[in-house]
Amino acid sequence: MRVFLSGPMGVGKSTVARRVAQRLGLRAVDLDAHIEAKAGCSIPEIFARHGEPTFRAWEHELATALVDEDDVVVALGGGTVTDARTRRVLLAAGVLVTLDAPLETLMARVGEGSGRPLLEGDAAARLRTVLDARRAAYAECHARVDATGDVERIADAVVAWVREEPVAVPLGERSYAVEIAAGCRSRLEARTANHPARVLVADRNTAIYLPASVSERDAVVVLEPGEEHKDVRAVERIWDGGLSLGGDRNACVVAIGGGVVGDLAGFGAATLLRGVGFGQVPTSLLAMVDSSVGGKTGFDRPEGKNLVGAFHQPRFVLCDVETLRTLPVEERIAGLAEVVKSAWLEGEADVAALEQDAEALRSGDEEATERAIRRSVRTKARVVAEDEREAGARMCLNLGHTVGHAIEAAAGFGGLRHGEAVALGMVASFRIATRLGDSDAVAEARLIALLARLGLPTDLERHLDAHALSFVATDKKRAGARVRFVVPGAPGAYRIVPLGIDEVGRMLTSGSP
Of the listed ranges 80-84, 110-114, 328-332, 419-423, the least confidently predicted one is 110-114
Neighbours of 204 (CB within 10 A): 12
What is the rounded average pLDDT of the residues 211-216? 88
DSSP notation for 268-289: HHHHGGG--EEEEEE-SHHIII
Q: What's the first-to-final CA gap in the chain, in angstroms?
A: 49
CA dist 381 and 167 (Å) reads 8
What would be the CATH architecture of the domain defined by 180-326? 3-Layer(aba) Sandwich (3.40)
Q: What is the pLDDT of residue 117?
A: 81
Average predicted confidence (pLDDT) for the chain? 93
For helices 441-453 and 329-346, the axis angle rounded to 10 degrees is: 150
* pLDDT value for 7: 97
Split at pLDDT 50, 70, 90, the class of 512 is very low
Q: Is 364 left (phi over 0), alpha (psi -120 to 50) or beta?
A: left
2-165 has which CATH code? 3.40.50.300
The pLDDT value given to residue 513:
42
Q: What is the mean pLDDT of residues 35-45?
A: 91
Distance CA 91, CA 104 (A): 29
Sign of the Cα torsion 169, 369, 296, 192 reads negative
The helix/strand/coil state of 319 is: strand
At the top level of CATH, the class of 333-509 is mainly alpha
pLDDT band at 248 (very low <50, low <70, confident <90, very high): confident
Domain spans of the chain, in order of start? 2-165, 180-326, 333-509
- CA 23 from centroid of its chain's CA atoms: 29
CA–CA gap between residue 506 and residue 496 (Å, rounded): 19
333-509 shares the fold of 2-165: no
Per DSSP, the three-state class of 498 is strand
Q: Which long-range contacts (CB under 8 A, 24 or more apart) does 356-359 make?
A: 358/450, 358/453, 358/454, 359/453
CA dihedral (175, 180, 184, 190) in degrees, to 10, reads -10
Type of residue found at 410:
A
Strands (DSSP E) found in 316-414:
316-319
- Amino acid identity of 185? R
What's the angle, vertex CA 376, arms to CA 283 and CA 408, rounded to 5?
A: 65
pLDDT bracket for residue 414 (50, 70, 90): low
Q: Residue 23: which residues within 8 A CB-CB, separation 6 or more?
A: 155, 156, 159
Which DSSP letter does residue 10 get? T
Judging by beta carbons within 10 Å of its beta carbon (0-12, 13-18, 19+), is residue 224 exposed, middle or buried?
middle
Mean pLDDT is lowest, of 412-416, 481-485, 501-505, for 412-416
Residue 108: count of CB within 10 angstroms of its CB: 11
Angle at 2 between CA 280 and CA 78, to 5 degrees: 85
Q: SS3 breakdown of the chain: % helix, strand, coil, rounded to 5?
A: 55, 20, 30
Average pLDDT over residues 205-222: 93
Q: Could you give the CA distance from residue 430 to residue 424 in angstroms, rounded to a whole number? A: 10
By the 10 Å C-beta count (0-12 exposed, 13-18 middle, 19+ buried), 458 is classed as middle
Output the pLDDT for position 119.
83
Catalytically active residues are 274, 296, 338, 380, 390, 394, 398, 401, 405, 418
Q: What is the pLDDT of residues 121-167, one digit of tens each?
A: 888 898 999 999 999 999 999 999 999 999 999 999 999 999 999 99
455 pLDDT higher than 60: yes
Query: Of 56, 50, 51, nearest to 32 (Cα)?
Result: 56
| Average pLDDT rounded to a whole number, residues 421-441 | 95
For helices 232-243 and 259-271, give the axis angle rounded to 10 degrees: 50
What value does the mean pLDDT take over residues 369-397?
A: 93
Beta strands in 267-357 (DSSP E): 277-282, 296-301, 304-311, 316-319
Q: What is the DSSP string of 364-380?
A: T-HHHHHHHHHHHHHHH
List residues bridging with 304 in a β-sheet: 301
pLDDT over 70 (residue 280): yes
> Cα Rg for the chain, rounded, in angstroms?
25
Q: Tens of pLDDT along 178-193?
A: 999 999 999 999 999 9
Report which secondary-structure segment, H or E, holds 4.
strand 2-6
